[in-house]
């Protein structure tokens, strides 16, 4: 018997606030935590493997899945559709496996409005300051000044939705933030909604009590 239900873990932040770093840290801490595999209508890039990097589907199939409520969340980005298929997540939850979603506030909101909300744990990472956020983006050395400016512009839109999450952490220290994330997930795994066996145990206790009285 499965001892607990899996968690649907949403981790969001503006670009540069540490989301990717924290996601990797969680996987290093517990390798059973799986990244959600998205579906997309774009063509595979060199080296990408279907059902491993993405579920590559046609636009018609994608729209049918949305219409049939088979997507937890979806969006149209740069001419292509992206979304999170519901069935693999439902299977993981039923089998006690946690699924990690690296998505923005819009995707998080769609999932929170779904029928899997009871199993959802949403966490938002805030930068210690806007200056520090910009410094982190610049220190990557990966983006042009124009791209960094666009990311900074978008960052406030992301930050403005902080209050739609279960937990909000200021990522001012990587190690401290990592430990707090672990504590949050450990506690969430013990929520009553994640422990289906508790009801049977209580019934057993009730029967034992009645047998003794």
76-101 per-position pLDDT tens digit:
987 999 999 999 999 999 999 999 99
Q: Is pLDDT above 90 for 103?
A: no
The token pair at 159 is 């930050």
How does pLDDT run across 132-149, given as a tens digit for each residue?
999 988 888 777 888 888
Which letter, b or e, does each residue of 93-112 get, where b requires 16 or more Cβ atoms within 10 Å of its Cβ? beebbbbbbbbbbebbbbbb
Question: Could you tell me whether strands 80-85 and 39-40 are parallel, antiparallel, or unpaired per DSSP bridges?
Answer: antiparallel
Indicate the pLDDT class of residue 67, thresholds 50, 70 and 90.
Answer: very high
In this predicted structure, what is the pLDDT of residue 3? 81
Q: Is pLDDT above 70 for 2?
A: no
Phi, psi for 75 (deg, rounded to 5): -155, 160
The structural domains of the chain, ordered by start, are 8-36+97-212 (3.40.50.300)
Write down the residue that tokens 């899997």 correspond to: 116
Dihedral over Cα of 175, 180, 183, 188: its sign: negative
Mean pLDDT of the chain: 93
Distance between CA atoms of residues 133 and 18, nearest Å: 9
> Is-contact 169 181, C-beta < 8 A?
yes
């Amino acid at each position: 018997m499965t001892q607990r239900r899996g968690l649907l873990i949403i981790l969001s932040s503006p670009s540069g606030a540490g989301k990717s770093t924290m996601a990797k840290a969680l996987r290093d801490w517990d390798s059973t935590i799986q990244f959600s595999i998205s579906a997309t209508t774009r063509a595979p890039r060199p080296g990408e493997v279907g059902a491993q990097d993405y579920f590559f589907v046609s636009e018609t199939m994608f729209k049918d899945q949305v219409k049939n409520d088979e997507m937890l969340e979806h969006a149209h980005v740069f001419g292509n559709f992206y979304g999170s298929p519901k069935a693999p997540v439902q299977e993981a939850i039923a089998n006690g496996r946690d699924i990690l979603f690296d998505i923005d506030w819009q995707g998080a909101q769609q999932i929170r409005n779904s029928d899997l909300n009871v199993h959802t744990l949403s966490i938002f990472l805030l930068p210690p300051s806007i200056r520090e956020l910009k410094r982190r983006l610049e220190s990557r050395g990966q983006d042009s000044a124009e791209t960094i400016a666009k990311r900074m512009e978008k960052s406030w839109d992301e930050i403005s939705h902080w209050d739609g999450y279960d937990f909000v952490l200021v990522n001012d220290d990587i190690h401290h933030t990592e430990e707090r994330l672990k504590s949050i997930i450990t506690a969430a795994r013990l929520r009553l909604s994640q422990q289906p066996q508790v009801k049977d145990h209580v019934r057993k206790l009730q029967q034992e009590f009645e047998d003794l009285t």
